[in-house]
């Protein structure tokens, strides 16, 4: 019984971490989508909103499967966004 209780606590902790990371995940996905579409605008291309939803779902799955590693993954993505923006001269 105690083992089952620890497992449900783990599931509860994962769901709480998923809800806590959701705003950051959505903002990160939006910035990635907008940045790519901003560059594609110059060549006449555009990514549909299904790519945005796919990116949000991918972040949600990563947050659920890797709750302790996910903040560092988002940190690396944000550092990548900042370095690409500096490289493009924004």
pLDDT, tens digit, 9 for 90 and up, residues 18-73: 888 888 888 989 988 888 888 888 888 888 889 999 998 998 888 888 888 888 88
Range of the domain at 61: 2-88
Residue 12 CA to chain centroid, in angstroms?
20
Helices (H), 42-69: 49-65
Total tally of structural domains belonging to the chain: 1
Residue 17 CA to chain centroid, in angstroms?
13
Handedness of CA 70, 72, 75, 80 (dihedral sign): negative
Q: How far apart are CA 77 and CA 35, in angstroms?
A: 13
pTM given for the model: 0.71
Q: At what angle do helices 70-88 and 49-65 cross, to 10 degrees?
A: 140
């Amino acid at each position: 019984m105690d083992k089952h209780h620890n497992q449900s606590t783990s599931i509860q902790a994962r769901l709480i971490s998923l809800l806590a990371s959701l705003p950051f995940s959505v903002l990160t996905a939006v910035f990635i989508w907008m940045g790519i579409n901003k560059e594609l605008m110059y060549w006449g291309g555009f990514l549909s909103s299904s790519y945005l939803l796919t990116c949000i779902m991918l972040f949600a799955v990563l947050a659920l499967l890797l709750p302790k590693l996910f903040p560092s993954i988002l940190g690396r993505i944000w550092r990548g966004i900042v370095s690409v923006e500096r490289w493009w001269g924004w």
